Structure formats: C-alpha cells, structure tokens
Amino acid sequence: MSLPIGLRALRHPDFRRFFAAQFVAQTGSWMQTVAQSWLVLQLTPSPFKLGLIGSLQFAPILLFSIASGALADRLPKRRLLMCTQTALGCLALILAALVASGRVEYWHVAVLAFISGLVNVLEQPSRQSFVAEMVGRGDVASAVALNSASFNAARIVGPGLGGLVIARFGVTPAFVVNGIGFAVTVAMLSRLGTRGLPRARSGRGVVDDILTGLRYAVRTPEIRLMLGLLFLVSICVFNFTVYVPLVVRTVLHLGAEGFGLLMACLGVGAVTGALTVGVLGARQPPTAMLFSTAALACGGLLALSTARVFWFAAVAVFLTGLFGVVLVASCNTAMQLAAPDELRGRVMSLYTLVWGGAFPVGAFIVGSISEHWGVGRALLVNGTAGLIGAALLLGWWTFREEAGRAREA
C-alpha cells in the first residue's frame, strides 16, 4: 500500500531511523529550553538578561553559518553530525552538574549557551542537507514536512514534560534527559547506511566555495524571497523562548506548569502547520500562501499582546505557531528543491543564517522593550513591524513580476 504524499519519506529506512532519533533528541532539547529559561529567571529577574541568553546562543549562527555551509559540502555529513550531537550532549550534562552542585551562576549559563551556538553552526546546515541525501529529491517535500512535524511535536512533549519535571524535581533532570537524548541520536546515526559523502571538489578554496553559494542565492529571485520572509518571521515572530516565559510570569502570573502548557499549545499549532505542508505536498508553495501565512503569524503576536487570561494566550500562540511553521517549512522545501546537489549545504547555510542568525537581534529587541515597557508592548511592536515588512516584500515581488511581464510583452 502506497503512503500518502506527505509521508512518502518514511519509505526510506535511513530516514525512518533518523526521524525517530531526532524526535528523541529534540524532545530533550525542548525540555532543556524550558529549564534553561526558568533557571535564568531564578538566577536573575531581568527580562533583558533572559533575552541576552538567546542572543548569545544564536549569535554564532549569525557570525559563522555561511562558512559552516561550505564545510558541510566538504565533509562527511553523518560523521559531522555524530560529533556535533556528542558535543551538545556533553554541554547539557555539564549544565546539569553545575546546577546539581549548587554552584551555577548566570555567566555559566551564558558561556554554555554561546558554546552550544557554535556547535549548532556546524550541525544545522549538515542536518538540513543530509535529509535530502537520505530520501532523494523526489521525497524532499515530504521529508522536510515530517522533520518539521517532528521538531514541533517535540515542542508539545518537551515543554509539557519539562514544566512538570521542573515543578516536581527542579531543572537538573531536564538537562540530564537532554544529554541522554543526544546519546540515543549518536547511536542511531552510527547505524545509518547513508554517509553524506561530499561531492567531488572543484579544487577551489573555502572562500571561493562561499562566494559561489552567495552568488547563486543573489541571482535567484525565489531564494531571495524565501530568505526575506524567513528573516521577517525569525526576527519578529519566533522569539518564543523569550516572550512566552515573560507572558506566563509577568502577565498571567503562573508557574512552571503554566509555562510548559503554553509552550505545548504553541507546539500543537506548529505540528498542525507542519502536517498541513506535508498533506499539501506542493513542491513550489504558492506565493500568495507565503505572504498570507506571514501576515497571520504576525497577527497572532498582536493578539497575544492583548492576552490577560490563559485560554486566550493559548489560542494566540497556537495560531502563531501554526501559520509561522507553514511559512518556514514551505520556505525550507522550496530552497532544498531549488539548490543544486553540490550547493545544497551552502544554500541551507543561508537558511540557517537567516532563520537562526536573526534570532539574537530579535531576542535582544524583545528583552530590551520588555525590560522598559513590558512584554505586551514588545509583542505589539514585533507584530506591527512584521506586518509592515511583509507588505514591503509583497510590494517588491509584485513590482518584479509586473516588470517581467512587461519585458515579455
């Protein structure tokens, strides 16, 4: 019996193993995300310092992701992933040991967050391009949608479990579980037949490889559009680890269980969005859908800025997660399919740069505005800025298409 179009990537045994291992690791990572945010708020009441942790964790992506894409095209991806997953697991266990010893300080969390960001610089473009090699171009759309569903299903399980674990046992077990999850991932990666070997080298240096990838992206209008939309939602919408705990603590006045439940509502919306992309199975998502989902995700932030009760906040984050992930997963699919095989690592490093690299700026903005004027004002500013940015991108794209039709006529 043939699988539905959104599930066809599961025909590949390597992808099935990878899919299961990633879900385990991502669930642990989301538990750590919840625990780390809660730990920071225990160490300091400052929203600015909470936002600074997010900036430190994602700053390496902003600085080094383009170079890491060139490395991903030059190195065996499976081996590289095993090394990065091992390093991330060790960092989680170090943080667990610091907390358990009672000696943890804010600067410990900041340093470990920055180091984990350095590791993620290598991990993300390798993982993104490795997926395409496991399933082939024909099932890339399915694989991207399932990967996004796995990531966001972990958003349901991880924060929910994390909130409950923190409330009953403290933050240490969440860090330990994350370390164990990465160990499971390394063991599963060692069993994959796909090795992700690099393509034949051109004989040029890393700098030339980087410039080749940049030139391709600059000359391809569809890639520029995807990167523009990704930048928009990354800097304005996807700062959940900063504004959700602030909403829970300063607006709704709830504890760790409330934080976990609100993050789980966000995850339910995100999984719904990812599965929607998989069911549609469109190789090239309609441009109108991309702009619509960007606007609706920003509208979710505006709704959340007015929330004063839990149920309304839950609906707002559900819708924000749903429309945001539909946009992100669609952009990921389009970029994977547009990239030539020999450039995929570099193209996906640009995805990583924009998707994760804009986060430090967004986290800093959210933390700073929240520090001085409250999280509600920060959400209002971000939602409005996102809508204005979407309108500007739509104007540019419409002008470009009209100019193209005029030249053809």
CB 132 within 8 A of CB 77: no
Q: Alpha helix (H) ranges present in 190-309?
A: 206-219, 221-236, 240-246, 256-280, 287-305
At 205 the pLDDT is 64
The three-state secondary structure class of 286 is: coil
Torsion 301-355-322-232 (CA) sign? positive
Q: How many domains does the chain have?
A: 1
Per the domain annotation, does 194 fall within a domain? no
Give residue 25's identity as a one-letter amino acid code. A
b/e for 240-278, b at 16 or more Cβ within 10 A? bbbbbbbbbbebbebebebbbbbbbbbbbbbbbbbbbbb
DSSP 11: G
Calpha distance 280→145 (Å, rounded): 10
pLDDT at position 57: 81
Is residue 197 domain-resident? no
pTM for the full predicted model: 0.71
Between CA 120 and CA 107 the distance in angstroms is 20
Dihedral of alpha carbons 377, 378, 379, 385, sign: positive
Q: Is residue 195 part of a domain?
A: no
- The set of residues, in sequence order, having a beta carbon less than 8 Å from that of 161 and lying 6+ positions away, is 27, 31, 260
User: Which CATH number is 291's domain given?
Assistant: 1.20.1250.20
Query: Where in the sequence is the domain holding 9, given as residue range(s)?
Result: 5-189+202-408
Measured in whole angstroms, the distance separating CA 344 from the mean position of its chain's CA atoms is 18
Identify the pLDDT of residue 204: 62
Please give the average pLDDT of every successive group of 10 residues along the chain, which has 409 residues: 64 85 86 87 82 79 73 78 92 94 91 90 78 74 73 68 80 91 89 71 65 82 89 86 83 81 81 73 72 93 92 92 86 76 74 74 81 88 93 90 75
